[in-house]
Each structure stands twice: as structure tokens, then as C-alpha cells.
Structure 1
Amino acid sequence: MRDTYAETKLSILQAGRRLIAQKGFTGVGLNELLAAADIPKGSFYHYFGSKERYGRELIEQYVAEYLQTLDQSFSAEAHANTTARERLLTYWGYWLETQCCEIAEHKCLVVKLSAEVADLSDDMRMALHTGTEAVIARIAEAIRTGVAEGSLHTVLEPYRTAQMLYQMWLGASLLSKLSRDREALESAMDVSRRVLVAP
């Protein structure tokens, strides 16, 4: 049996995500969200209650999808002929290419919203914080796998290394937005290759 409530809610989230990826959370008015989702104001409040709650659920839905993709990217079963080190560098390479592209909806929503909503909404800030911690944990597990299989140096401390790399890439993505070029992201890629060194 189809869950039409959940499907409609997801459709509204996806419609707003494209807009927010382009303009930011505060840059998108409620009327613009309603028009994009093709729903009346009453329906919006029925599903979300407020624009802030909509923002929180948008982040949670984005993070859930992102973590599924990450799990697939780091899965040894899905990528049987690659090492954990290769899978990690492929992930960072994908980040470099998508954050440099001109298509706003391909860019990381965490990068887009973190600075904007940190002081605006505690609920949205916590959703972003929880999401980034989950991403770092996945990266740390991939590093742990690499150390265990011998594709990464045993000197690496998985969680701290994952945290450092993720923070570096977030910063590089913001700098890339300011400069509108690839230099900061390419530097992050170079450092990642040096950090994730084979024994």
C-alpha cells in the first residue's frame, strides 16, 4: 500500500531543495516554495507546521540520502576490486568535481546552509551537526578498513583523520565559492592524497 502522505511530503521537500540549493534558506520565500511544490499554504503547514521545521526536515532528508550514497561508495562488496584508499580518494574526487560544477542542485547542501542557518535556527543547526558527525563516522570507518586491509598506513588515527579531512573539504568548498575556481578544492585533493598514504 502506497504512503501518499510520505510521498507528497517528499515531493515538497525535493521541490524546495532545488530552490534552496540555488538561493539559500533565507533567500527563498514561502510563496516561492509553495509555487515550486504546487501546493496551497494550508497544505504546507499541514505537512511541516513552519518554514523552520521544513528546513530541518529538508536537511534530515538530504543527509539520509547522502549517507546511503556514502555507504554505497565505501562498500567493499559493491567495489570488490578496489581498496578502501581508492574508494576514499574516489569520494574526494567526486566532491571536487561536483562542488566545481555550475549546477547548484549538485552542490552539497551542508556547505550551502551551514554558515547561513547556524545562528538562525537551533533545530536546523543540530540537524546539520548530527548529519556531519554521521558523515565523519562513515569516513572514519572507511579509513579503519583501509588500515586493517593494509591499503592505508597504520599511523592514521581513523576518527581524527576523518574529522580533519572533512573539515578541510568543507573549508575548501567555501573558498571555492568565493574564488569561483578549483584551486582550493584541488589543494584539498592534493593534501588528501598525501594524508591517505599507502604503507
Structure 2
Amino acid sequence: MSNQARNDKRDLILAKGAQVMTRRGYHGTGVLEIVQAAGIPKGSFYHYFASKEDFALQALEHLYLPRLERYQAALLESPLSPRARILGYYADLIAHFARQECPEYHCFIGSLSFEMAELSQPIGQQVEAILLRSVRVLADCLEQACAATELDADTDCLALAEFIGNAWEGALLRMKVGRSVTPLKIFLTQLERLLTPR
């Protein structure tokens, strides 16, 4: 098997297995469910992953590195003003959920965080590293907003980025529970106010 074919098969297992694990949880998902979702023999799993924990670690990287790259491009590489980039990014996500008849959100990193962060140090560390990278991207954009006088010069951008990220995750959770985008709309309204200089 060529390296490309091997990588394609690994990516298929990661994508399909992560979907199952997101819905059923880490402990509710066995290797058998992962390989069945990917349509491969059970023995093939161990050609690519040393264990279920190794699968989860590789799935985190597979899913979230491209997302972080898109987040960075949206917040740091757009010709829009820093404030407009941030508000536009979240407005686009909210519009995506609003188009769904019944808003659904299945988060692999969230699912692993709740279930495994305390039980598996490697998974906990990987989740934290991904979340920190996301916070730093947003903090960099907020720094640009300060430089453009769109935010007060004395703003603690890292703390504000942490707060916005945590508020967004909370709003997503409320959306999932209530099956309504109202918490996301409230988040965006408050974010607009938060990103207005005094």
C-alpha cells in the first residue's frame, strides 16, 4: 500500500471513528464500533493506532488542526478590520446553526473534555493545547483591534480572548440543550458591546 493510500485510510478511520466517539462518548465507543463505521476489518485498526487512547489523540489533531488554520485565516488574514473579523466569524457560525431546522452541535473536543480530561493525562494535555492555540489566535486579533483603536488600549487581550472562548462554548451548550439559536444570538449581541471602546 502506498503512503498516500495508507494516509487516506487512516484519515477515513479518524473521521468516521471521531463521529461515533462524539455521539457515544469515549467509554461508550469500542474499537469494533470505530472499524465498523469506517468499514474496515478490526485488525486493521492496530496498523494505524496503538490503542483507543492513541486513536483519540490522533483524531483530535486530525480534526482540530485544520479548524485552527481556518480560524487563524478568518481572524488574522482578512482585509476586514479586526473587530469586523471577530464579529463576522461568529455571525457566520450562528447563521450556519440558524439554517438548521433543529440546531444540532456535536463537539468531539467537548465530549472528550468532559469524559477524559481527568482520566487521561495525554488527552487532557492535547485538549488544553488546542484550546490555548485558539485563545492565542483570538488574542492576537484583539491586540490588532487595540492597535486600530477599536478597543481600549489597556485591554487585557489574553484574558478577554479566554472569556469570549468560554462564553461561546457555554452558548453552544445552551443551544444544544434548548435546541434553539437564541443563546448564540445573545452571545453575539453581548460580544458586539464588549468589543466597543468605552
Give the structure-1-normalised TM-score: 0.85
Distance 1:10 1:98 in 2: 25
Q: Is the 8 A contact 1:151 1:198 kept in 2?
A: yes
Amino acid in the other structure paired with 1:194: R
Alignment partner of 1:92 is 2:125 = no
Instruction: For residue 27 of structure 1, give the secondary structure of its aligned residue in structure 2.
Output: coil
- Superposed, 1:2-21 pairs within 5 Å as 3-21=4-22
Contact 2:103 2:175 survives alignment (8 Å): no
1:59 is matched with 60
- Superposed displacement of residue 30, structure 1: 2.1
Matching of residue 160 in structure 1 with residue 159 in structure 2? yes
Q: Which moved more, 1:116-125 or 1:49-58?
A: 116-125
Aligned amino acid, residue 86 of structure 2: L
Q: How does 1:110-189 map to 2 (within 5 A)?
A: 110-189=109-188
CA distance in 2, matches of 1:128, 1:5: 26
Shift of 1:15: 1.6
User: 1:107: Cα distance to partner?
Assistant: 4.3
Q: Which has the higher mean CA deviation after the structures are superposed, 6-15 or 19-28?
A: 19-28
More displaced 10-residue stretch of structure 1: 189-198 or 129-138 = 189-198
Q: Aligned partners of 1:51, 1:2: CA distance in 2, in Å?
A: 22
Corresponding residue for residue 29 of structure 2: 28
Equivalences, count: 195
Moved more, 108-117 or 41-50: 108-117
Q: Distance in 1 between matches of 2:128 and 2:23?
A: 21
8 Å Cα contact 2:49-2:55 kept in structure 1:
yes
Tell me the SS of whatever aligns to 2:72. Answer: helix
Cα deviation for residue 99 of structure 1 reads 5.5
2-structure distance, mates of 1:113, 1:13:
14
Q: TM-score, structure 2 length as denominator?
A: 0.86
C-alpha distance in structure 2 between counterparts of 1:16 and 1:99, whole Å: 23
Asked if structure 2 preserves the Cα contact closer than 8 Å seen for 1:111 and 1:174, the reply is no
Moved more, 133-142 or 62-71: 62-71
Deviation at 1:125, TM superposition (A): 1.5
Structure 2 runs not aligned, ≥5 long: none
Deviations, residues 10-67 of structure 1 (Å, cap 9, x unaligned)? 1211121232343333333322211111221221012111111101111122220111
CA distance in 2 between counterparts of 1:10 and 1:103 reads: 27
Ranges in structure 1 where 5+ consecutive residues have no aligned partner: none
More displaced stretch, 117-126 vs 51-60: 117-126
- Counterpart position of 1:45: 46
In the alignment, the residues of structure 2 paired with residue 131 and residue 168 of structure 1 have an alpha-carbon distance, to the nearest angstrom, of 17
What fraction of aligned residue pairs are identical, expressed as a percent?
25
What RMSD in Å do the two structures reach over aligned CA positions? 2.3
Contact 1:136 1:163 in 2 (8 A): yes
* Deviation at residue 177 of structure 1 after TM alignment: 1.9
